[in-house]
Amino acid sequence: MPHMHRFKKPREIKNEQPTILIFGGSGVIGRAIAKEFGQRGWSVGVHYHHNHSSAEKAVAAIQETRGNVQLYQADVNDSSQIKELFQTFLQDYGALSLLVWAIGMAPSKLLAKTTPEEWEQTLQTNLSGAFHVLKHASPIFEKQQNGAVILIGSLSGEQGTPGQVAYSASKAGLMGLMRATAKEWGPWNIRVNAIFPGWHSSPLSGPGIDSALTQQSHILNRTPSLQHMVENVYHLASTRDISGQIWNLDSRIR
């Protein structure tokens, strides 16, 4: 029988500013989220692994508006690095109001041409990485009895996308992880949700992914804007009575 948590009365976070930690803050979506929350007065933590220059762009955009921002480097597949990152973040900011997972690699290959190494690397980064991050965030949220998590997913995880077998599988697994975590952390007053942001072109996109996804049937004949996406992330982060849910932000039918 699974362990059941007793409900405790939520306590309000004492920080003057709410705090957000964005894993994948060097990516197109992560940078946009960091900038939006920084401009809205949140204290921002931007995580990156290899792409330091891109992460610095996110930091610079927030600093231009005199926002509070710190940069954190870690490999999400290294549990000790993730633990140290959280410790440093709490030393800097004192509490964690919102955790955003915006990491995702997407090799563009048909199943028959996907190597076992590519399959394993994609699932390790997109799914196991999220597991490691949530595992180390767990004691923080249990202690706080307040906070939220938003996982950036993909409609490909529900519908499947030709040439994206590893990516689609990893994003499907991420939604299972989200729903189970939401149920486990609900008694702690922690809201865990996911957003399907629509397709946003990235330098990390594999060949042909842009055309394959943008040609999918959109009722409005367009993909969503980055600004539309980040506004919805902020709105979901600010909504206190939603958990275990998926928001699809474009006009493709699920």
* Residues annotated as catalytic (active site), given as ranges: 167
Contact 104, 51 (CB under 8 A): no
Residue 23: beta bridge partners?
Answer: 101
Residue 47: beta bridge partners?
Answer: 72
Q: What are phi and psi of 73, to 5 degrees?
A: -110, 135
Identify which of 123, 140, 166, 110 has the alpha carbon closest to the alpha carbon of residue 13.
140
Burial 1-32 (b: 16+ CB within 10 A, else e): eeeeeeeeeeeebeeebbbbbbbbbbbbbbbb
Residues with Cβ within 8 Å of residue 55, at least 6 apart in sequence: 25, 26, 31, 46, 47, 48, 71
Angle (CA) 69-74-80 rounded to 5° is 125
